Amino acid sequence: MLNLEIPPEPISMKDSIKKGLEVHRELELANLKQGTWVASPLWRDTGWGRELKRHGLTWQKFMVFIRDHYPYFLDWVNGKASWNSIIGKLIERIDDELNAMRR
């Protein structure tokens, strides 16, 4: 079982992305899809990286999950989903993948 905590909602990042979408929509969508804005803090600052590596998950595979999660992050920015719900879905996806890897 994974021990990943949901970090506090990055309100300033959300506001920055929202403003970016108003000014340069395509550029900001590309940044949102690329995912480093959320992957790096989760991997490095919250301890997810240590926990995921312990379970055999690489940074590269983690980035695949982050990129696949793009529609949820867009919903969060647009106020259609809460931070806790989208990060919870991300944790579930990672957990499902790790369980599949073990089989």
Q: pLDDT tens digits, residue range 21-54?
A: 999 999 999 999 999 999 999 999 999 999 999 9
Determine the pLDDT at residue 102. Answer: 81
- DSSP code for 78: T
Check: CB of residue 51 under 8 Å from CB of residue 2: yes
Contact 81, 90 (CB under 8 A): no
**DSSP-derived secondary structure letter, 97:** H
For residue 13, how far is the Cα from the chain centroid?
13
Check pLDDT > 80 for residue 19: yes
pTM metric for this prediction: 0.91
Query: How many C-beta neighbours within 10 Å does residue 90 have?
Result: 22
The average confidence (pLDDT) of the chain is 95
Q: Report pLDDT digits (tens) over 48-92.
A: 999 999 999 999 999 999 999 999 999 999 999 999 999 999 999
The whole-number pLDDT of residue 103 equals 78
CA nearest to 5, candidates 57, 83, 70, 73? 83
Residue 1: pLDDT over 80:
no
